[in-house]
Amino acid sequence: MEVVSCSFSTQLKQPPTLSLQQQPANALRKRLMQNTLEDVGSFSIASKIFTLSGGKNSKTLSTASLLPFVKTVATYPECKKTHVAAWFNRVAAQRVYEQRIAKKRGGDINMMNDDVVDIAAQFLMHHRDGTVDKLVLPQRVIDIYKYCSNVVLAFHCYLLEMRCDELKCVFRGNATFPKTSLTVAENENLNVPRELADDFFDKHTKEGKAMGRGYGHFFEVMYLKNRRYSLPDGAPPTSRRGGVEPWEAEAKGYYLDVKVKVPRKSGPNEGE
């Protein structure tokens, strides 16, 4: 049995063999959008990246055109970092496993008034059963889900932006999304090989697995810069249990203490 997974890893699995400029453009865009959902918790930003980089028209997509988006997501002050969507997903997965869902499957979902975790649990069941096209959601949400290899965090982030005031993105709707150009030095630095610190080799890598590293180690080294949810004065930047983000403490408890497996028909195993 394995712990139900809930998020994409943001750690490098091994020293890169290609520079960032040499990465296939479509793969880079997909990964950037996945990381935006997991590490910024923003459907709006993922959608902006998809639209402004050409949408489904891959003929106009290039790695060079994506690098400004990479820099913006990584450094722009308003792109604050949070793993709230991943915690939210894990708590919802537990509810599916324990069959603790208030609304009967197939009923209409009230996005603004139904229990928010119940809604996420219904998303997960549709994701598991391959029936997401039955969800009454904007087509753009379905498109982002499918483009990002069936990442259920697209649904969660769309929902959380509706329900959580602090997650309402300043770039939603018709707002302009800034593209921050890379400096000459930054472009040159992308080609410089760098040695990875030991913390990068967590449970998501073959090296970390060989060392027996699990979720406890991952939570202890999972550092967020420019946090959406500020830590109290004097609090450690990472913690094995607990935390200040919504659903964080509950999700960590499930990861560390509860072994479950929710079967799925298709889609990636987010977090592994």
Determine the Cα–Cα distance for residues 146 and 222; give it in Å rounded to an integer.
27
Structure tokens at 180: 């921050």
Half-sphere CA count of 53, side-chain side, radius 13 A: 26
Query: What are the backbone angles phi and psi of residue 81, rounded to the nearest 5°?
Result: -100, 140
Position 50 in a domain:
yes
Position 181 in a domain:
no
The answer on 128 and 98 residing in a single domain is yes
The answer on 103 and 65 residing in a single domain is no
Burial class (CB in 10 A: 0-12, 13-18, 19+), 140: middle
User: Hey, is 236 helix, strand or coil?
Assistant: coil
Of 80, 95, 128, at which residue does a domain stop? 80
**% of the chain exceeding 90 in pLDDT:** 50
The whole domain housing 45 covers 22-80
Q: What is the pLDDT of residues 211-259, one digit of tens each?
A: 999 999 999 998 888 999 999 988 888 899 999 999 999 999 999 998 6
How much is the pTM? 0.82
* Res 86: pLDDT: 95
Q: What is the pLDDT of residues 36-63, one digit of tens each?
A: 999 999 999 999 999 888 877 667 788 8
Residue 5 DSSP code: P
pLDDT above 60: residue 129:
yes
Position 26 in a domain:
yes
The answer on 68 and 88 residing in a single domain is no
The answer on 118 and 59 residing in a single domain is no
What is the average pLDDT value for the chain, to the nearest integer? 83
Determine the Cα–Cα distance for residues 146 and 64; give it in Å rounded to an integer.
24
Position 14 in a domain:
no
Tokens 């990068």 correspond to what residue?
200
Position 268 in a domain:
no
Of 51, 80, 109, at which residue does a domain stop? 80
The answer on 32 and 91 residing in a single domain is no
* Res 193: pLDDT: 78
Position 51 in a domain:
yes
Number of structural domains (the chain) is 3
Of 80, 106, 123, at which residue does a domain stop? 80
pLDDT above 80: residue 173:
no
The answer on 232 and 212 residing in a single domain is yes
Q: What is the pLDDT of residues 78-104, one digit of tens each?
A: 899 999 999 999 999 999 999 888 766
**Alpha-carbon torsion (48, 49, 54, 57), positive or negative:** negative
